[in-house]
Amino acid sequence: MGVLNLTPDSFHPGARHPDPDQALARARVMLDEGAHLLDIGAESTRPGAEPVSAETEWARLAPVLEALRGFPVPVSVDTRRPEVMRRALALGADMINDVSGFTHPDAVAAVAGSAAGLCVMHMAGEPATMQQAPAYQDPVAQVGGFLHAQAGQLIAAGVSPERLVLDPGIGFGKRTEDNLALMRHLPELAPPCAAVPGGRLPLLVGLSRKSFIGALTGRERTADRLAGSLAGAIAAAAAGAKILRVHDVAATVDALAVWRALGPSASAAPH
């Protein structure tokens, strides 16, 4: 999943594409590089970010989403707002990626009647304050419990389990030790579900160039975090993640190709 931020302020300066023409040019590059899915977002959710209005978010999304319908790739829309979810679905979005895990009181109703894929992510608190004092008794149990509960709510509202993918939300209200615990116990986060292949709901992981990678490598600048991000992507794939949300498609595709060729569990790898 290639990240396409339509924002002027996303945490990684190299991924800011507020101009629609530049965003579409970037989308073409990611497709040529081997992306199987694009995730477009119009509100930065970096720690400390202030929310944008629904009007601003939609004004940034609409022209790019409309143009991407002509591209041979499914498009995910990264939004927390039910009104934006509804408009994105009406304009043909293939997936809704909600970093707040469909916790808005109207979010489940906004998406349940569609056929779109749904990414349920865990976030503790709100982007503006989430990194001020994150604290967990047991991050694996708490995040896993949240994902399980939200998936259950969506299924109870009529969503077929094949539409769901779950995401621990690396860096969203989490300390380095919490992120580490979640990555080390990744397979435990996916709730059992007899209705899907493999018997567990699939997982998506996004750690590309995040502070977590900076903390592990000592790299302060996001521009210097590619190698760490690639290692994290391979670790996530090896732990069974089915979708990797990345800024660097070509580099990740290469890393996965080598790992798949050399690794012991070729059949578990994302393709």
Residue 129 neighbours by CB under 8 Å, 6+ apart: none
Residue 194 neighbours by CB under 8 Å, 6+ apart: none
5 touching ligand HH2, by CB under 6 A: yes
- 98 to 157, contacts with ligand HH2 by CB under 6 A? 99, 119, 121
H helical segments located in 13-53: 20-33
Q: Please, what is the minimum distance in Å from the beta carbon of residue 245 to ligand HH2?
A: 5
Give the residue among 212, 269, 217, 216 at the shortest CA–CA distance from 244.
269
Q: Please, what is the minimum distance in Å from the beta carbon of residue 205 to ligand HH2?
A: 7
Cα 118–Cα 126–Cα 164 angle in degrees, nearest 5: 10
Candidate ranges 20-28, 139-147, 164-172, 178-186; the one touching ligand HH2 (CB under 6 A): 164-172
What values do phi and psi take at 18, rounded to 5? -70, -20
**Token couple for 37:** 């899915």
Q: How many residues bind ligand HH2 (CB under 6 A)?
A: 22
- Give the residue with the Cβ less far from ligand HH2, 154 or 204: 204
Q: Please, what is the minimum distance in Å from the beta carbon of residue 96 to ligand HH2?
A: 10
41 touching ligand HH2, by CB under 6 A: yes
Roughly how many angstroms between the first and final C-alpha of the chain, as a whole number?
Answer: 11
Determine which residue in the list 190, 244, 245, 252 makes contact with ligand HH2, applying CB under 6 A: 245
**Token couple for 202:** 């699939």
173 touching ligand HH2, by CB under 6 A: no
Q: Please, what is the minimum distance in Å from the beta carbon of residue 154 to ligand HH2?
A: 15
Cα 46–Cα 4–Cα 203 angle in degrees, nearest 5: 75
Which residue ranges make up the site for ligand HH2 (CB under 6 A)? 3, 5, 7, 10-12, 15, 41, 44-46, 78, 97, 99, 119, 121, 167, 169-170, 204, 206, 245
